[in-house]
Chain A
Amino acid sequence: MAIRTDSDDAELLAAVADKDRDALRLLYDRHAPWLVLRLARRCADPGIVEEVVQDTFVAVWKGARRFRGEGDVAAWIWGIGIRRLIDRLRRHPAPIPSTVGRNAVVVSAEEEVLLGVEHGDLGAALNRLSPELRAVVQATVLDGLTTREASRLLGIPQGTVKTRMMRAKRELREALA
């Protein structure tokens, strides 16, 4: 199948499965930038982030056939990327980015409306969680990781992930009640 610069991601991935190097380059141009940013929010070492992005696209090259066409290609790539990061951190633990300072950002009312989720009580409730609890919510809910994966990503024992998740749920439930 001939690929063009306006081919959609699934078409590109099908071409990558047939070892089309240009298709991989296009996918890389579309997805590497946000992947770098999203990984950088979970790992403070830029060298590791680069390695993980490299591993991820090599894995996409080798495993493009395993994409079953369900869901977004971006989500599939993220699933590979976050697991590569976890693998990498298991071998060489790296600092987790500090969240200090992020919470101080003043959010305009307009933005509140645009972004939807935090417009409601949930956003306020999430904001009131301590950074440790929020990190666990992020790993297990947003990133869709298992308890074991989250414990590796955050560098804390699995038991701690579970107790923090329980505390976070309780606090959210109370805040939304």
Chain B
Amino acid sequence: MSWHADAQTLERYATNTLDDVHAYSLEAHLLTCERCRMGVGNAVDRAGLDELWDAIAAVVDAPAPGPVERGLLALGIRQHIARLLAATPSLRISWLGAQAFLLGLTAFSVSVSDGTPRESTALVAFLTVAALLPVAGVAIAYGPGVDPTYEVGLASPMRSFRLLLIRAVAVLGTSIALATVAATAIPGLPWVSAAWLLPSLGLTLATLVASTYVRPVMAAAVVSGTWALVVTSAAYRVHDGLAAFRGQGQVWFVFIIALSVVLLAARRSAFEQGAGT
């Protein structure tokens, strides 16, 4: 470096009283001269810089978002919603993987089972599983004991009910998407491979309503148990494994969905006190 700026110039620059032309040459010089950079920098308030560093450190030390959260952000979902969804136990990669595995297995067993897929036990198994997965997902999406952010959620300015709905929609969305993919693996694609859709909606909503009375896990257990009972008893009564999924059953689920929506709206205040605790 052939020259350095003198103390007076540095001071004038730091106090913003140096004329433009001198400031230009000093600024060009500063980019390549550490000594002069330090010289002007000494005039800057240390306490303010330390405070600013704390703000930077807070961003730098924040945990990096996981793959689910990054994916959600890439989809244009707002940051705080993405964080809430990513903290949902039933939206973790492991849970999604388990669902995909179970659906894939049952769908595979349908496609390799003997006789017509229409009557097979494997098909009943696939439909039952596809309808119950979102129920299980919702059960562990929210509530004390399973949700790592449960206490945080209670104390947060967002309503618990809204949080539950956001997560339930996300859980339903992923489960339905996975089940749809699995259903396409069943050869012939008979209408029955979509027959799980209304039951899964109805059962999930019924679980949400029941969670206003008892813990979500308990609610899901009761709803799933009832559902399994209905499927088997209907199958034995009319000697048709798919009885519960046929026309009449579907009509019942439309009714259950409508009733659950009404009940859920009426019971929403139960969430604000902490469901079933």
A118 touches B25 (CB 8 A): yes
Q: Which of B51-59, B69-77, B91-99, B178-186 lines the interface with chain A?
A: B51-59
A97 touches B60 (CB 8 A): no
Residue of B17, B40, B56 touching A102 (CB-CB under 8 A): B17
A36 touches B44 (CB 8 A): yes
How many residues of chain B are within 8 Å of chain A by beta carbon? 42
Q: Knowing A25-B53, A105-B19, A111-B8 are in contact, say whether A116-B60 is a contact too (CB < 8 A).
A: no
| Alpha-carbon distance between A13 and B50 when the two chains are bound, in angstroms | 20
> What residue of chain A has the Cβ atom nearest to residue B44's Cβ?
A33
The reply to whether the CB of B61 lies closer than 8 angstroms to some CB of chain A is yes
CB distance from A62 to the nearest CB of B (A): 9
B31 touches A33 (CB 8 A): no
| Alpha-carbon distance between A61 and B27 when the two chains are bound, in angstroms | 24
The reply to whether the CB of B37 lies closer than 8 angstroms to some CB of chain A is yes
B60 touches A54 (CB 8 A): no
Within 8 A of B (CB), among A23-69: 24-25, 28-34, 36-38, 40-41, 50, 53-54, 57-58, 61
B56 touches A142 (CB 8 A): no
Q: Which residues of A contact B18 (CB under 8 A)?
A: 102, 105
Residue of B19, B37, B56 touching A31 (CB-CB under 8 A): B37
B42 touches A33 (CB 8 A): yes
| Alpha-carbon distance between A105 and B8 when the two chains are bound, in angstroms | 12
Classify chain A: how many residues form its interface, as a range: 35 or more
A37 touches B14 (CB 8 A): yes
A102 touches B13 (CB 8 A): no
Main secondary structure of the interface of B (DSSP, over half): helix
Q: Which residues of A contact B16 (CB under 8 A)?
A: 37, 40-41, 97, 102
Q: Which residues of B contact A78 (CB under 8 A)?
A: 31
B19 touches A57 (CB 8 A): no
What is the count of residue pairs linking A and B with beta-carbon distances less than 8 angstroms? 126
> What residue of chain A has the Cβ atom nearest to residue B64's Cβ?
A19
Main secondary structure of the interface of A (DSSP, over half): helix
The reply to whether the CB of B82 lies closer than 8 angstroms to some CB of chain A is no
The reply to whether the CB of B236 lies closer than 8 angstroms to some CB of chain A is no
CB distance from B12 to the nearest CB of A (A): 7
B 25-48 binary contact with A (CB < 8 Å = 1; else 0): 111101110100110111110001
Q: Which residues of A contact B9 (CB under 8 A)?
A: 111, 114-115
Q: Which residues of B contact A115 (CB under 8 A)?
A: 3, 5, 9, 22, 25-26
A134 touches B20 (CB 8 A): yes
List chain A positions with a Cβ less than 8 A from chain B.
21, 24-25, 28-34, 36-38, 40-41, 50, 53-54, 57-58, 61, 72, 74-75, 78, 97, 99, 101-105, 107, 110-111, 114-118, 123, 126-127, 131, 134, 138, 142
9 contacts between A and B (CB under 8 A): A29-B49, A33-B37, A33-B41, A54-B59, A105-B18, A114-B5, A117-B24, A118-B25, A134-B20
The 9 closest A-B pairs by CB, nearest first: A33-B41, A33-B44, A117-B25, A75-B31, A34-B37, A118-B21, A126-B21, A74-B31, A102-B19
